A and B are shown apart, each in its own frame.
Chain A
Amino acid sequence: MYRYDQYDQSIVNARVDEFREQVARRLANEITEDQFKPLRLMNGLYLQLHAYMLRVAVPYGTLSGPQMRMLAHIARRYDRGYGHFTTRQNIQYNWIKLAEAPDLLAELATVEMHAIQTSGNCIRNISSDQFAGAAADEVADPRPYAELLRQWSSFHPEFSYLPRKFKIAVTASDVDRAAIQLHDIGLQLVRQDGELGFKIWVGGGMGRTPMIGHVVREFIPVAQYLSYCEAILRVYNRYGRRDNIYKARIKILVHELGAEEFTRQVEAEWALLEPLALDAPQAEYDRIVAQFAEPDYDRAVPDAVDRGDPDFAMWLDQNVHSHKQPGYAIATISLKPVGGIPGDATAEQMDLIADLAERFAHDEIRVTHSQNLVLAHVCKADLYALWTALDEAGLATPNLDLVTDIIACPGLDYCALANARSIPVAQKIAERFADLDRQHDIGELKIKISGCINACGHHHAGHIGILGVDKKGEEAYQLSLGGSGAEDASLAKILGPGFSEAGVVDAVEKVIEAYRTVRTGPDERFLDTYRRLGADPFKAAVYG
């Protein structure tokens, strides 16, 4: 894992000191809330419905054991004993007191973490594939490139006041686990004629106007991807719609210019940047790459796993993935127990996961954009012991990518922007489909729920997407089908008129039962059935 150097640490410490002073001035009424609000937002501190919410950055979703223990400590000391892992691989605390926020951030800084650029119109936390560095299907580890992007984008003087927020995702596999086509910039590490480089998408996003990104470059050598990103940001910063917040994201600029013209402008800008030599020197790449060295694998461990315990075997089949190193595996810890709150983890669970990471996974944890956690380097011989410990703590639900592995934003239970609650809908759907045999029969089915048009719950990318809307002060829900955030990215389409909370749960069940009736067989995923047949059989099932 990357460790801070003296520059990283000193700028984070300096920011804590600066924010401490700003908070003191606000509490003393020396500055107004209008003056203070942008300052606290730059430090990830929002005011939500019930209290301040702090969003802590987890760079490319990677945490060490000590960092996870600090997150647990913060949950206990400054919050109400839990945190919420988000769809951008961050963690949010819901009950922070303003006066305590500087002390909290100072404690976070001791483990090389912060909340900088988790809000505001800047480049946000860089997200990535949760299996990075471990996946059997990746061309190379994308994390060093994500880390370099983190360093480049942190306090970038030119990009601190963009027209709108800006999100970048990096992956290195043809299997897209980072939803790169739905980001402002999506980067896929590829190999061409033996050389490493990036395929680059621009202009994807969800929110009010969902769009799939456009490929602006099939290949750019890794030595030049940073300056190319700089060129993209420069074009956006210059021409992005600052006059209209709803049209200010880069996807609108790309759409209005057309992908071809946008690309031409980026290429022209990039040509101007070339003499400035903005790309990192090879020595800096090498320094960062060295920090992501492979764990010290035991090359003599057996590859076979005893599947004698049927519950363990079910978890193995559903939540464990292939690792590039024989004898090792990638284990996903579901934060979606039936009836639980998607993405929530208690301080005790965080501590336990840190302990298990230390014992079994080279002291490393990943956060997924699907609001689960991953131990990326587990010796197969340890999987049963790991599963046993997880099971005792209620963390071994074998439901990865199944109907109960639901993404849900905090919704109207916490969020000041929300129109409707998301979590209770997720809980009711999960309870309706609690039977594991039924879940496995249904197969891969990604339900994603957002409590408002901002789409933090990725409903546009759900095989089944649910959007909460406000109907004269009451909650209502719109159902969409056919979305995907994977390599076969697509945007879900609204099925028809909306529902009440109870109605939408019934409607989801009708959609799923219709799928079971019309699919060609258990191997045809819901998404493929929808793509083959269109909306008609589902409309008929739901609306009669």
Chain B
Amino acid sequence: MIRLLTGNILETGDVVWWDGTEWNLALRDAVDVGPEGDALLARTLAAERINEPALVDAEPTPDGPRPRTMRERVRGAGPTVRLDLNRIPA
């Protein structure tokens, strides 16, 4: 199990994932934040530019991380009923 850091961009509400360097729209680029996660989360909260930041559990797969919960998988992929609208494939 790995841990990902995610949230929504303040200006747009877009779902983003921490890729080790910056916030990234693609779930597949998310990295395991491991033991650094709590400190990263605290810094994100303090910066006030990412809304509702959270650490989520995921499984590593060859196609990138797969969040443990359906909720986070839907956040990563977009609405399952409007695949035409999803900006970035999961």
- Residue numbers of A with Cβ under 8 A of B are 26-27, 29, 32-33, 47-52, 80, 94-99, 341, 412-414, 418-421, 423-424, 427, 470, 473-475
Interface flags, B46-77, vs A, CB<8A=1, else 0: 00110110000000000000001111001100
CA distance A315 to B40 in the complex (A): 58
Contact call B49/A29, Cβ cutoff below 8 A: yes
Of A27, A50, A427, the residue contacting B11 (CB under 8 A) is A27
Instruction: Give the size range of B's interface with the partner.
Output: 20 to 34
Contact call B11/A424, Cβ cutoff below 8 A: no
Name A's interface SS. Answer: mixed
Of A50, A99, A474, the residue contacting B78 (CB under 8 A) is A50
Known: A50-B75, A97-B12. 19 other contacts (CB 8 A): A33-B10, A47-B8, A47-B51, A48-B13, A49-B15, A49-B74, A50-B14, A50-B15, A51-B12, A51-B13, A52-B13, A80-B85, A96-B13, A97-B13, A99-B11, A341-B82, A421-B80, A421-B81, A427-B81
Contact call A473/B13, Cβ cutoff below 8 A: no
Query: Within 8 Å CB of A418, what residues of B?
Result: 71
CA distance A153 to B61 in the complex (A): 53
Smallest distance from the beta carbon of A75 to chain B beta carbons, Å? 12
Smallest distance from the beta carbon of B55 to chain A beta carbons, Å? 15
Chain A residue at minimum C-beta to C-beta distance from B52: A47
Known: A47-B52, A473-B70, A475-B70. A413 touches B80 (CB 8 A): yes
Query: How many inter-chain residue pairs (CB < 8 Å) link A and B?
Result: 76
Whether, in the assembled complex, B89 has its beta carbon less than 8 Å from a beta carbon of chain A, the answer is no
Whether, in the assembled complex, B34 has its beta carbon less than 8 Å from a beta carbon of chain A, the answer is no
Chain A residue at minimum C-beta to C-beta distance from B8: A47
Query: Within 8 Å CB of A27, what residues of B?
Result: 10-11
Jot down 13 A-B pairs with beta carbons below 8 A, ordered by A.
A29-B48, A47-B52, A49-B71, A50-B14, A51-B8, A95-B85, A96-B13, A98-B12, A413-B79, A421-B70, A424-B80, A427-B81, A474-B70
CA distance A420 to B71 in the complex (A): 8
Chain B residue at minimum C-beta to C-beta distance from A31: B48
Contact call A98/B11, Cβ cutoff below 8 A: yes
Contact call B79/A50, Cβ cutoff below 8 A: yes
Query: Within 8 Å CB of A33, what residues of B?
Result: 10, 48, 51
Chain B residue at minimum C-beta to C-beta distance from A422: B81
Contact call A412/B74, Cβ cutoff below 8 A: yes
Known: A32-B48, A427-B81. A412 touches B11 (CB 8 A): no
Query: Within 8 Å CB of B80, what residues of A?
Result: 413, 421, 424
CA distance A264 to B18 in the complex (A): 58
For window 1-35 of B, CB contacts with A under 8 Å fall at 8, 10-15
CA distance A98 to B10 in the complex (A): 7
